[in-house]
Amino acid sequence: MAAHRPKLALFEAIASMGKAFASPRRLELLDLLAQGPRTVDELARASEQSTANASQHLLALHAAGIVSRERDGTRVRYSLAGEDVLRLWLALRDVSAARLAEVERAAREYLGDDVEVIGPDELTARLRRRDVVLVDVRPPEEFEAGHIDGARSIPLEELEQRLDQLPADTEVVAYCRGPFCAYAHEAVRQLRAAGRPARRLEGGWPEWQLAHEKTEKTPTAAVGSGSR
Amino acid sequence: MAAHRPKLALFEAIASMGKAFASPRRLELLDLLAQGPRTVDELARASEQSTANASQHLLALHAAGIVSRERDGTRVRYSLAGEDVLRLWLALRDVSAARLAEVERAAREYLGDDVEVIGPDELTARLRRRDVVLVDVRPPEEFEAGHIDGARSIPLEELEQRLDQLPADTEVVAYCRGPFCAYAHEAVRQLRAAGRPARRLEGGWPEWQLAHEKTEKTPTAAVGSGSR
DNA sequence: CAAACTATCAAGCGATCTATTGAATAGCAA
DNA sequence: TTGCTATTCAATAGATCGCTTGATAGTTTG
């Protein structure tokens, strides 16, 4: 562990954060945490793994400084350590999508046929004109942890039964966790199968949040390019 | 390798890029490549490891899509795959510095006593007034691969002998590879020991380049937040 | 064509990582 | 105190990673 060259020790320390991003299970947990804080148990269930395993991975993420822990009675609530971590995760995700054909392939496989999208600018304009219905199709806990202003929560599971709650003549825009989340894709397919005009929002809640919350607090040190 | 759940396969593909950032040796190579393209042999020598080992790591980086390879006669020249990769590496470096105390500690250990810095804005203003001498103290190959406009190359090794080539009355600003590169720190210490006013630039060539080259080409796909 | 040089491959071994299982701990409620 | 639940710890086996050494392939040069 002790590197003779001090320079290697520095890169070793940085690599310990890199290692946190090197496991699919941990990335899945990170992706969930990007939606908001969750307890170990919730995260384990949402990512279909044992509690013990999820706990181990969460502790590893904590040791790498990219998530925070907070006791809440008998349970422990984890959350992303800060906005900088969220940006880093999204950057890794986007670069891997742009550079690795395998990511593209796996995404296509998972998401199914692509559906029409609407960009954030157009959505903002049409929301202002009340020309569109914005639907958050994520699980309700995630909606409660934070959502786009003006959206209504209809979890994907309930969409089919609640179709009549949506106006028949207005276009529907669905969004979920992000570009690699299947919920919005599936929602749009269901809506169109029911004969309704629908598109999905490009990006999800985390991307929207980063673009719109101007002055987020920076909890720890300033992330500069060299103030050290 | 084959994940039953398509979702896990997706995260597995993204994690394969994360793994590229999980090794100190690879990060050191990346940091060198951030200065400009280099051959395997040069990189191996600069990072003090065997050619075979460096080659393995470079191939791993290539498989992860974050460096490009190009044959040049009998040698192979590697370079970063794009500006997005450079941004990602700098983001990882900065977040780890902000979140991991160990990175701070290792940096202090490696860089020695901190020296006074000058920000890019002030430098730009004073360069325009010709009020300052800007010195690039990196090895000459890196200067040739790209440098700040108006800088002159004085590799750290030669600084002591070439002190008389610097005007005695003007402040000197030294820069090198980045905030975690020891060259500029050491140069400023030498200059001040010789009784000359000197500071180091906050950040190095990669940071400057990103901030100033407006319209860099985006070689592969667009990196969006949700085109699929 | 052979020699020299650069980069990659191949095999091997020790170290590290991952998921599983079962046990231990911490807080809460009777 | 005694249960009960949520989380973490500990031990294990299997897989992967990382570095070393020695051989191989592809280019250029004589």
The pLDDT, as a whole number, for residue B214 is: 64
Which residues from chain B sit within 8 angstroms of residue A107, using beta carbons? 10, 228
By the 10 Å C-beta count (0-12 exposed, 13-18 middle, 19+ buried), A189 is classed as middle
Digit-coded pLDDT (tens) for B16-41 = 999 999 999 999 999 999 999 999 99
The pLDDT, as a whole number, for residue A3 is: 52
How many angstroms separate the CA of B180 from the C1' of C17? 29
The pLDDT, as a whole number, for residue B146 is: 96
Identify, with chain letter, the residue nearest to nucleotide D28 (CA–C1').
Answer: B74
Range in B145-159, B164-178, B209-223 with the lowest mean pLDDT: B209-223
The pLDDT, as a whole number, for residue B5 is: 82
Which percentage of chain B shows pLDDT scores above 90?
Answer: 87
Smallest Cα distance from A9 to chain B, Å: 6
Q: Which residues of A27-65 are buried (b: 16+ CB within 10 A; e: fewer)?
A: bbbbbbbbbbbbbbebbbebbebeeeebbebbebbbebb
| Chain D bases closer than 7 A to any CB of the protein | 5-10, 16-23, 26-28
The pLDDT, as a whole number, for residue A36 is: 97
Digit-coded pLDDT (tens) for A151-201 = 999 999 999 999 999 998 899 999 999 999 999 999 999 999 999 999 999
> Mean per-residue pLDDT for B112-132?
94
| Rounded Cα gap, residues A164 and A173, in angstroms | 16
Angle made by CA atoms B147, A10, B62, in degrees to the nearest 5: 65
> Mean per-residue pLDDT for A25-49?
97
The pLDDT, as a whole number, for residue A214 is: 64
Range in A203-212, B32-41, B166-175, B209-218 with the lowest mean pLDDT: B209-218
| Rounded Cα gap, residues B78 and A152, in angstroms | 50
The pLDDT, as a whole number, for residue A50 is: 95
The pLDDT, as a whole number, for residue A191 is: 96
**Residue A122 — very low, low, confident or very high, per pLDDT cuts 50/70/90?**
very high
The pLDDT, as a whole number, for residue A213 is: 76
Digit-coded pLDDT (tens) for B63-111 = 999 999 999 989 999 999 999 999 999 999 999 999 999 999 999 999 9
Digit-coded pLDDT (tens) for A76-86 = 999 999 999 99
Beta strands in chain A (DSSP E): 38-39, 67-72, 75-80, 117-118, 132-136, 152-153, 171-175, 198-201
Taking CB atoms and an 8 Å limit, are A106 and B15 in contact across chains? Answer: no
Smallest Cα distance from A179 to chain B, Å: 4
